[in-house]
Structure 1
Amino acid sequence: MPEPILFYDIPTKYTHQKAWSPNTWKTRLCLNYKGLPYKTMWVEYPDIEAVSRSLGLSPTSTKPDGSPKYTLPAIYDPNTKTAVVDSAAIARYLDKTYPDTPRLIPYETDALHAAFEHVFIPTFLPDLIKIVAVPTTESLTPRSEAYFRAAHDITDPGPKREEHWNGFKKALQTFAQWLDADGTGNRLFFLGNKIGYADITHAAFLIWIRIVLGADSKEWKDITTWDGGRWARFMDAFAKYETVDEGDYVVDHD
């Protein structure tokens, strides 16, 4: 059995549900799906850059002012003494390093997965972010919330909320149309009858919605009925991979 991989994630302020970020959920689902041992290292937003630098990780993009931007998820694998940042790069690393576990990106689908990543956010997020930005921010700890608000334009959609929600509904209908392209109407996953990284990406963002809006919210109940209940069935398939360990904080958060 390999040593536990250190997995760097961003916590909420809640003790009952610390994991929220859709990007880090992608890596958590990958690790759980593969059955690899890991330990969560909780990192507040203001500490991400210092932690990333300590691991020898490169920035993943640049800020509006041109300075380097460091993001999570990231992992450090003590078995190979390797640190990796970015969920897609982590998925490919895990496939290569642990070939005896379920493969996330089958070789013949790698280019298609790269294309999916390119279109996913522009399709999924534009209307949704207007709905979840405020509750996401309010779920963070005070240190992270202050940092997040300074870095993002956090506004309530107000009277346009319903318009944005209908826009998001259309986005999910687009995904349903992709899945139904073969005409059978019964494909649940992008890889057909098994989970792949594209499905994990989609599930991670749906988990985010359920966490920040609430499983009992009208919005989440709506999602579970859309497209003939497809997304309820889809999420049922991921329930056993949503385990969240207690983990440790990298920097004292008290």
Structure 2
Amino acid sequence: MSRRSAPRSPPTVITLYDAPGAGSQTWVPNIWRIRFILNYKRLPYRTVWVEFPDVERTLRAIGTPPSSRHADGRPIYTLPVIVDPTRNAQAPQILSNTNNIAEYLEACYPARPVFPEGSRALQTLFVHYIQEFVARPLLPIMVPITHDQLPERTQSHFRGASRSRTPMPSSSHPLPPGPQREHAWQLVKEQFDFLSIILDKNVGDGDGVVAQGHHLSYADFVLCSVLLWIEQMASHDGWARVREWNGGRWARLRQRCHDYMDVF
């Protein structure tokens, strides 16, 4: 007589949907932001790994709202996504879009805030600067390097997808080592130099490493997410130089965030 196994109960911790790099390596900057918040707030969670070809199908299956929409109204499904059953197991919260998730976690789990009182506006400006003037110049360097280190199935997906429908272009035009790539790194360094000047204004009122003076905040996690992308995907050509810039300031920031880098 065969035994019928009992139905598996749904998880009672937050689930974070992430895209793997080599093995189960987390690397996407926007997803690192959410992982940092979960770890910093000491919220129990688990990771579900979803390769890029499976993102839309997987997220539709669990009822995820689109992250955004194309100009013609078609939904766009991207990671990160979290499912939070801890507040209502019968109707778990399912959230997409990095900013929406960050706001939700801060509102629902206010202990150990990542937006200390009175800091939201300035942090928002800081994050905007990182996105537009630090991360964007990195794309011509980092996207091809990253593409070549993703699972083969994911690489094939991006090679076969149209540019209008994929969040990552193919590596058909990488910047080869040489003057062109060095120039691109120099443009990135100029932005880090500017950030360093801004953070120097905290010296005396803070430690000169974190944006809020003494305590880690969302702005630090956003910047450190970019640093980890460089470290994980371009350790020799990228992180080896970035960690030395501005007197080692970015290596010190990474170290300050180290306790919140766990992957569950």
TM-score by length of 2: 0.83
Larger helix percent:
1
Q: Secondary structure at the match of 2:118?
A: helix
Q: Which residue of 1 aligns with 2:183?
A: 163
- Report whether the alignment pairs 1:194 with 2:215: yes
Offset at 1:125?
A: 2.2
Offset at 1:95?
A: 1.7
Q: Which residue of 2 aligns with 1:76?
A: 83
Higher relative contact order (CA 8 A, sep 6+): 1
Q: Structure 2 CA distance, aligned partners of 1:166 and 1:179? A: 20
- Map residues 206-225 of structure 1 onto 2, 5 A cutoff: 206-214=227-235, 217-225=236-244
Paired residues, number: 239
Structure 1 contact 48–72 (Cα < 8 Å) conserved: yes
Q: Structure 2 CA distance, aligned partners of 1:134 and 1:242? A: 25
Instruction: Select 1:109's aligned residue among 119, 123, 139.
Output: 119
Comparing 194-203 and 183-192, the one that deviates more:
183-192
Offset at 1:123?
A: 0.6
Are residues 182 and 239 of structure 1, via their aligned partners in 2, closer, same or farther at CA, if it must alter by over 3 Å? closer
- Report whether the alignment pairs 1:47 with 2:54: yes
Q: Deviations over 1:155-202 (max 9, x none)?
A: 211341000011111111121122123564842111110111111000
| Identical positions, percent | 34
- Report whether the alignment pairs 1:136 with 2:138: no
Q: Deviations over 1:206-238 (max 9, x none)?
A: 001000012xx1431211111111111111111
Offset at 1:73?
A: 0.7
Q: Structure 2 CA distance, aligned partners of 1:210 and 1:198? A: 19
Q: Which residue of 1 aligns with 2:128?
A: 118
Consecutive unaligned residues in structure 1, runs of 5 or more? 246-254
Consecutive unaligned residues in structure 2, runs of 5 or more? 1-10
Q: Which residue of 2 aligns with 1:241?
A: 260
Instruction: Select 1:204's aligned residue among 211, 225, 234.
Output: 225
Structure 2 contact 227–239 (Cα < 8 Å) conserved: no
Structure 1 contact 91–105 (Cα < 8 Å) conserved: no
Q: Structure 1 CA distance, aligned partners of 2:249 and 2:99? A: 25
Q: Which residue of 2 aligns with 1:250?
A: none
- Map residues 64-103 of structure 1 onto 2, 5 A cutoff: 67-80=74-87, 81-100=92-111, 102-103=112-113
Q: Structure 1 CA distance, aligned partners of 2:132 and 2:170? A: 18
Runs of 4+ in structure 1 deviating by more than 6 angstroms, as ranges, are: none
Offset at 1:75?
A: 0.3
Q: Structure 2 CA distance, aligned partners of 1:186 and 1:104? A: 17
Instruction: Select 1:11's aligned residue among 20, 23, 30.
Output: 20
Q: Which residue of 1 aligns with 2:247?
A: 228
Q: Deviations over 1:95-122 (max 9, x none)?
A: 221223x101124122223333333211
User: Which structure has the larger Rg over C-alpha atoms?
Assistant: 2
